[in-house]
Amino acid sequence: MNKLLFFTNNENKKKEVENLFKNLKYKILSPSDMSLIFEPNEIGKSFIDNAKIKSSYGFNKFNIPCFADDSGICIEALSWKPNINSKNFLGSFKNKNDCFNYILKKVNKTKKNKAYFITSICLTLNEKHHIIFQGRLNGTISNKAMGQRGFGFDPIFKPFKFSKTLGEMDKEEKNKISHRSIAINKLINFLTN
């Protein structure tokens, strides 16, 4: 099983995952490597449901082992939302800074600054065989957006016990602790043991 399809069209996620797999004997392919831009609708009720929708679709389309992730941020000041709607929530603002400012105002007003990132990964080995791996990173919303690295909500999320936001961390620092790397490392352990 040397080829693995990572069902994402998000280049940032793909780079993050390739970096975690770099010392292993797996070639990570993405839908764009197979000339596919389409992604199925994520209509699940949870991160696991959405990951499974994508990994099943990728497996059925190309008949090679496929994994997909669904990730998001849950923010105490927003009643633990946007949760599975994180991407759409971010996209509903004119730009990222407007979104960050909205969140920072809510945190300021409510004095609730806890947050966590969550990733669910589904590995589909055949039509009826799905294995789930999860990662979670707890932290707080920072006082202001800091750092140009990473993507999504990284510039306003500060992991517990760290003075930097994910947006200020370099790739290596982030990959040691991120919710996605926790889940991917569980997947790697499964594949290599």
Catalytically active residues, by annotation: 70
- Amino acid at position 51, single letter: A
Query: What 3-state DSSP class applies to 129?
Result: strand
**Residue 51 and residue 71: Cα distance in Å, rounded?**
9
Would you call the peptide bond into 40 cis, given omega within 30 degrees of 0 as the criterion?
no
Q: How far is CA 181 from CA 61, 93, 186, in A?
A: 26, 28, 8
**Residue 134 and residue 186: Cα distance in Å, rounded?**
8
Handedness of CA 51, 56, 62, 64 (dihedral sign): positive
Longest dimension (CA), the chain: 52
Checking phi first, is residue 39 left (phi over 0); if not, alpha (psi -120 to 50) or beta?
Answer: beta
